[in-house]
Amino acid sequence: MPDQEEEAVQMATDQTRLLPGEEPGSQLSADAAHWIDVYSQLRETKHQLIANLKDMMERQSQEAQDELERADVRVLELQVARFEKRLAFWQAKLAALNGNPHAEQPAPRPAVSE
C-alpha cells in the first residue's frame, strides 16, 4: 500500500507529467485550444476543492487542520501549479500557432487563501 500512496503523490505532483493523449509537439490550433480547456477545468476544480476543504477545516480541531493543510491542501496547491504550467504552455503554443508568439498570457490565478 505505501508504494501505491507514494506513486499517487508522485503522479499528482510531477511537474513534467502529461495527460493521456496530450501531444506537446502538435501543430494544430484545435489541439492547443482543447488542452487549454482541459487544464482550465482541472485548475478550477482544484481551486474549488481547496476552497471547500479550507471551509470544512474551520470547523475541525487544530490537529486536524494542521494535518489537512500539511498534506491535502499542499498536494492540491502543487497540482494547481502543475496545471497552471501546462495551461501557460498551451496558451503560448496557441498564440504561436495563430501567429502571435508574444501574446500576453493571463496571469496565473493566485492560490485560494483562508
Structure-derived torsion over alpha carbons of residues 22, 28, 30, 32, reported in degrees to the nearest 10: 50
Give the model confidence (pLDDT) of 31-42 as tens digits. Answer: 999 999 999 999
Among 14, 29, 30, 28, which Cα is nearest to 86's? 14
Give the model confidence (pLDDT) of 41-53 as tens digits. Answer: 999 999 999 999 9
Q: What is the pTM of this model?
A: 0.82
Beta strands in the chain (DSSP E): none
Provide the pLDDT confidence category of residue 100 given band limits of 50, 70 and 90.
confident
